[in-house]
Structure 1
């Protein structure tokens, strides 16, 4: 059974049940200081309405109201947990900008504008690559390490480093073609 939340019941519904969202956030250790707290609250409220619409029993009866609270809490909690997992996976795939990159400059000084453009271009390229490809690119271009040195540093075979090199080349060639157009 799908029911809709009418505008006249909306305010009373949220006053009564919005605590479910805040309780789920608290249980998942997401407090108001979290950068995405407001987004999680909004997502939780949307999931709360979805729980209202899909709850199979009649909410006018008080015995089912308590069942709804547990149903809605579980639905909201699982949704926020999924969002937190997606966010963590995204953060795990991203590699932080290395501090040594700022201080590690080649011996030959490029004109300021050219060096700035190259660093800016490198910053745009890195998010397109996986963690391993980013490490390869930084080691090869900035640190000027050989394939053997990169393989030893990363603890992988030379063949793996050559595969990274090939994938970086393919991805960045496509990136440079897009920039030219």
Structure 2
């Protein structure tokens, strides 16, 4: 097994770090994203792990290794993104948090909106199908799970989502005077 130092030296040699930046760009994780530094560090660790698990000597087969590392980094970051999204779906904010605090925690806004009031208002304006979508999402279900539950296509569920988003936008603008 290769040492951490050898793996890190290989990472910094030449333009090997471009494998990392390419994967971040490919996954739409850009420098202005507040998760960027975390994912950059995770990608570097994945590169070192790939260096250590590569079946041959990476310095002897650099092109093969970089292709191998690219795949390992990509799927490692995809897995991390999935874990992050599942964690966000499983943790639901309590009623004391407001939409303004959730969307922009840095800003000191003078208006506060209770998200349960917004959801109740939107639910009243939704059709039965749109209510199914919104309640499914609030319960942490994916589009595929909602589609399977109601025996419709995912495309149908995406249409429900689009209509719910429009209604949410209208409710926020008209009823809650946001935006």
Of the two, which has the highest radius of gyration? Answer: 1
Larger RCO (CA under 8 A, 6+ residues apart): 1
Q: Name the TM-score, length of structure 2 as normaliser.
A: 0.49
Q: Name the TM-score, length of structure 1 as normaliser.
A: 0.48
Report the structure, 1 or 2, having the larger helix content: 1
